[in-house]
Amino acid sequence: MGKVNVTIVGTINPEGKEQLSHYIEKVGDLYKKVNAKPVNKFKVTKPLIGAYTPNIVSIMEFPDMDALNAVFESDAYQALIPYREKAFSKLEAYISE
């Protein structure tokens, strides 16, 4: 199986800036361990279709599905979930192969 992309769409909670910093730092460490690479990151300025307007869209490339699972199913990532929940008021992630 080849490369896998994860598209992350989120709205940052303005009251969770400390948690956001911690989450981004630690999840970045997990990404590095599996050689995941950022493809691109965008700030959303306005919606074109639909009512939901996230703050950010980020695309990450993982070497394969095993690498993706090694991050998101790890105990280290599970420990970050409380930070993630405070850092974002809404967060969605999509896998594309």
Tokens of 59: 């695309």
At 15-59, the pLDDT tens digits run 999 999 999 999 999 999 999 999 999 999 988 998 888 999 999
- Beta-carbon-side half-sphere exposure of residue 59 (alpha carbons within 13 Å): 8
Count structural domains, the chain.
Answer: 1
The pTM assigned to this predicted structure is 0.90
Domain-embedded: residue 59? no
Domain-embedded: residue 58? no
CATH number at residue 74: 3.30.70.100
Contacts of 38 (CB under 8 A, 6+ apart): 58, 59, 60, 61
Domain-embedded: residue 29? yes
90, pLDDT greater than 70: yes
Domain that holds residue 13: 4-52+67-96
Tokens of 10: 């989120």
Measured distance CA(20)–CA(13) in Å, rounded: 8
